[in-house]
A and B are shown apart, each in its own frame.
Chain A
Amino acid sequence: MKLLTHNLLSSHVRGVGPRGFPLRLQATEVRISPVEFNPDFVARMIPKVEWAALLEAADTLHLVEVPKEPIQGYEHDESFLRQMHHVLLEVDVLEGTLQCPESGRLFPISRGIPNMLLSDEETET
């Protein structure tokens, strides 16, 4: 699971609503998978990122420090873009959990795949 994916995920346990974001990440196995760097691609991704959630996740994984917010003129800052490329796309959580911040419910990540299925009782009506 890449951090870009984590950035989109939210808990849908019944009653939780927007407080289900972001999910708290715990990782027991992480792999770095090289991905071809495409600066334009990364630059376009930046505005879509929920930055606080990314910071939190990167911090949990003890990654290279991510700036508190996108720096000015980031579109042309190759070093920044490379860093974000790495954090968003190359860090792959293979084993771990995602936790709903509101309900505490844990979702497993196995073999790189998060499983977000809930039982009937747990889902929103």
Chain B
Amino acid sequence: MDHAAAQLEKQHVHDVYESTAPYFSDLQSKAWPRVRQFLQDQKPGSLIADIGCGTGKYLKVNSQVHTLGCDYCAPLVEIARRRGCEVMVCDNLNLPFRDQGFDAIISIGVIHHFSTKQRRIRAIKEMARVLVPGGQLMIYVWAMEQKNRHFEKQDVLVPWNKALCSQPLSESSQPGRKKQCGHPERSHPYHPPCSACRCPVCFKGRWDSRRSHSVDCDSALAGTCCANISKEGEEENGFYNTLGKSFRSWFSSRSLDESTLRKQIEKMRPLKNTESWANSTISTQPSRHSSFDLDHPEPFSTGEQNLDEEVFVETSQKHLEWLRAPATHKHLNGDHPRGVRRNGDGNFLGSTNTKENCMDAGNLEEGTPSASKIWRRISAADSKDSNPGDTISVEEQQSDILDSGAFMRYYHVFREGELYGLLKESVSELHILSSGNDHGNWCIIAEKKESCD
């Protein structure tokens, strides 16, 4: 199982990042403010590790600490190195560090790339091992519960749209980019290409229709994408109906549990023939608006989020409320149409006051930076998300999707409470300080317990 899991990750995580590394751009990767704040809160002289650092956007956030960037992907690490960062290539599952060397660790958008629960636990335990007692670990993973897209299952393959990438990084373009990435959030008015458009149509590289994409995205048509497929209602259903039978089976598949995934992974061997994906119960997502972005060339999109109020506010002192709240869940997303299941721990984060927080958030209008505001994700009509027709037709692009050139990335998207439960049940050396949701990501901050065996 582990070998098969490693194979899956090789094909749909490592190889993809390696192939797409040249297209990554500093401009287009967003640094999450809360992560930046976590780093800035660390004591001067701290030793920090960014496990899964990608191109290194967090490595220079705090000049008073020494941050070491680590990533499995050598090309990405090379990019970070060229920016002057101290980096190395290594494996999260086997961190090449002595015990208790780091004062803090961040793991942003990494754990969701591990395809089995065991590996995810292992990755977290490794990070705990190399933390000093009292040291803190921050983890971000993609949430299954999304406002603007719908994950049929937790184990998904997400296509990567090359059309949205920047030009391959060249030496001459470096200095310019460097200047700008100093202030990623305040850079020149950067109008992101419609990040919704990771649909197959866009994949064909319809650059000229980019503008119309933006328009569509800005409109009230959440979850829709290309101009041609943009209308809700019968057209989408029509599209759905034209999907090949095998693809339709993806969308109606049940969630993949561990054993099913295992069986599926076993079936995949060898993974050369990607047509087997068609019958897989791992769903392939036409990847639309990605509220989560690592070093993905797509920016932190504001396209579709124009629907909502501005959720992305500057951090202030008050955001620290979240960080210090003892395991208080401040997820303010409102209702999930599918009824989010709480895994395991019934007392998950005492979320009885979730609703109240929603109400409160509703009263906090723009211009008031606050913890609640930062947490807030205005939930649009979520029912939209569950419309299978929402997912963009892959029929035209069937060959593209099945083609290895489509760069499908594997994700295990996390349910609400899952990350928390994982740490609680399986990583006893960590004490959870706080957790919550940040723009479609489940986040946790945990501390290494003092007396360990």
Whether the Cβ atoms of B94 and A12 lie closer than 8 Å is: yes
User: Is A44 an interface residue, CB under 8 A from the partner?
Assistant: yes
User: Is A116 an interface residue, CB under 8 A from the partner?
Assistant: yes
Whether the Cβ atoms of B96 and A11 lie closer than 8 Å is: yes
Whether the Cβ atoms of A41 and B45 lie closer than 8 Å is: yes
User: Is A2 an interface residue, CB under 8 A from the partner?
Assistant: yes
Whether the Cβ atoms of B98 and A1 lie closer than 8 Å is: no
Q: Please report the C-alpha to C-alpha distance between residue A48 and residue B47 in the assembled complex, in whole angstroms.
A: 8
User: Is A63 an interface residue, CB under 8 A from the partner?
Assistant: no
Whether the Cβ atoms of A50 and B98 lie closer than 8 Å is: yes
Give every chain A residue within 8 A of B102 (Cβ-Cβ): 8
Q: Please report the C-alpha to C-alpha distance between residue A48 and residue B135 in the assembled complex, in whole angstroms.
A: 13
User: Is A73 an interface residue, CB under 8 A from the partner?
Assistant: no
Interface residues of A in 69-125 (CB under 8 A from B): 89, 107, 111-118, 120, 123-124
User: Is B425 an interface residue, CB under 8 A from the partner?
Assistant: no
User: Is B74 an interface residue, CB under 8 A from the partner?
Assistant: yes
CB distance from B134 to the nearest CB of A (A): 13
Give every chain B residue within 8 A of A43 (Cβ-Cβ): 45
Give every chain B residue within 8 A of A9 (Cβ-Cβ): 96-98
User: Is B44 an interface residue, CB under 8 A from the partner?
Assistant: yes
CB distance from A89 to the nearest CB of B (A): 8
Q: Please report the C-alpha to C-alpha distance between residue A124 and residue B95 in the assembled complex, in whole angstroms.
A: 11
Whether the Cβ atoms of B88 and A115 lie closer than 8 Å is: yes
Interface residues of B in 92-107 (CB under 8 A from A): 93-99, 101-103
Which residue of B66, B72, B97 is within 8 Å of A10 (Cβ)? B97
Which A residue sits closest to B90, measured CB to CB? A116
Give every chain B residue within 8 A of A21 (Cβ-Cβ): 98
Whether the Cβ atoms of A112 and B44 lie closer than 8 Å is: no
User: Is A38 an interface residue, CB under 8 A from the partner?
Assistant: yes
Whether the Cβ atoms of A5 and B86 lie closer than 8 Å is: yes
Known A5-B86, A8-B101, A111-B78: A45·B66 in contact at CB below 8 Å: yes
Q: Please report the C-alpha to C-alpha distance between residue A17 and residue B75 in the assembled complex, in whole angstroms.
A: 29
Q: Please report the C-alpha to C-alpha distance between residue A101 and residue B47 in the assembled complex, in whole angstroms.
A: 24
Whether the Cβ atoms of B66 and A4 lie closer than 8 Å is: yes
Q: Please report the C-alpha to C-alpha distance between residue A21 and residue B130 in the assembled complex, in whole angstroms.
A: 13
Give every chain B residue within 8 A of A124 (Cβ-Cβ): 94
User: Is A65 an interface residue, CB under 8 A from the partner?
Assistant: no
Known A5-B86, A9-B96, A10-B97: A113·B77 in contact at CB below 8 Å: yes
Give every chain A residue within 8 A of B68 (Cβ-Cβ): 5, 8
Whether the Cβ atoms of B3 and A120 lie closer than 8 Å is: yes
Q: Please report the C-alpha to C-alpha distance between residue A21 and residue B359 in the assembled complex, in whole angstroms.
A: 54
How many of B's residues come within 8 Å of A, CB to CB?
A: 31
CB distance from B21 to the nearest CB of A (A): 14
Q: Please report the C-alpha to C-alpha distance between residue A115 and residue B89 in the assembled complex, in whole angstroms.
A: 5
User: Is B309 an interface residue, CB under 8 A from the partner?
Assistant: no
CB distance from B153 to the nearest CB of A (A): 28
User: Is B368 an interface residue, CB under 8 A from the partner?
Assistant: no
Whether the Cβ atoms of A116 and B89 lie closer than 8 Å is: yes
Most buried by A among B3, B47, B78, B103: B47
User: Is B81 an interface residue, CB under 8 A from the partner?
Assistant: yes
CB distance from B97 to the nearest CB of A (A): 5
**Residue-wise interface mask of B (46-61) relative to A, using a CB-CB cutoff of 8 A (1 in contact, 0 not):** 1100000000000000
Q: Please report the C-alpha to C-alpha distance between residue A41 and residue B43 in the assembled complex, in whole angstroms.
A: 10
Q: Please report the C-alpha to C-alpha distance between residue A124 and residue B129 in the assembled complex, in whole angstroms.
A: 14
Q: Please report the C-alpha to C-alpha distance between residue A5 and residue B47 in the assembled complex, in whole angstroms.
A: 10
Give every chain A residue within 8 A of B46 (Cβ-Cβ): 44
Whether the Cβ atoms of B44 and A40 lie closer than 8 Å is: yes
Q: Please report the C-alpha to C-alpha distance between residue A12 and residue B81 in the assembled complex, in whole angstroms.
A: 24
Give every chain A residue within 8 A of B399 (Cβ-Cβ): none
Known A8-B68, A8-B101, A116-B96: A1·B44 in contact at CB below 8 Å: no
Whether the Cβ atoms of B98 and A44 lie closer than 8 Å is: no
Whether the Cβ atoms of B45 and A44 lie closer than 8 Å is: yes
Q: Please report the C-alpha to C-alpha distance between residue A80 and residue B68 in the assembled complex, in whole angstroms.
A: 24
Whether the Cβ atoms of B94 and A8 lie closer than 8 Å is: no
Give every chain A residue within 8 A of B396 (Cβ-Cβ): none
Known A4-B66, A45-B66: A114·B88 in contact at CB below 8 Å: yes
Which residue of B86, B94, B98, B103 is within 8 Å of A123 (Cβ)? B94
CB distance from A16 to the nearest CB of B (A): 11
Which residue of A44, A116, A123 is within 8 Å of B44 (Cβ)? A44
User: Is B6 an interface residue, CB under 8 A from the partner?
Assistant: yes
Give every chain A residue within 8 A of B3 (Cβ-Cβ): 120
Give every chain B residue within 8 A of A11 (Cβ-Cβ): 96
User: Is B361 an interface residue, CB under 8 A from the partner?
Assistant: no
Q: Please report the C-alpha to C-alpha distance between residue A21 and residue B2 in the assembled complex, in whole angstroms.
A: 27
CB distance from A103 to the nearest CB of B (A): 13
Which B residue sits closest to A108, measured CB to CB? B89
Give every chain B residue within 8 A of A1 (Cβ-Cβ): 86, 88
CB distance from A6 to the nearest CB of B (A): 10
Whether the Cβ atoms of B81 and A113 lie closer than 8 Å is: yes
Whether the Cβ atoms of B90 and A117 lie closer than 8 Å is: yes
Which residue of B47, B78, B97, B98 is within 8 Å of A113 (Cβ)? B78
CB distance from A18 to the nearest CB of B (A): 7
- Shortest Cβ-Cβ A-B pairs, 4 listed: A44-B45, A116-B96, A116-B90, A115-B89
12 contacts between A and B (CB under 8 A): A1-B86, A1-B88, A5-B68, A5-B86, A8-B97, A8-B101, A12-B95, A41-B66, A44-B44, A44-B45, A48-B103, A116-B89
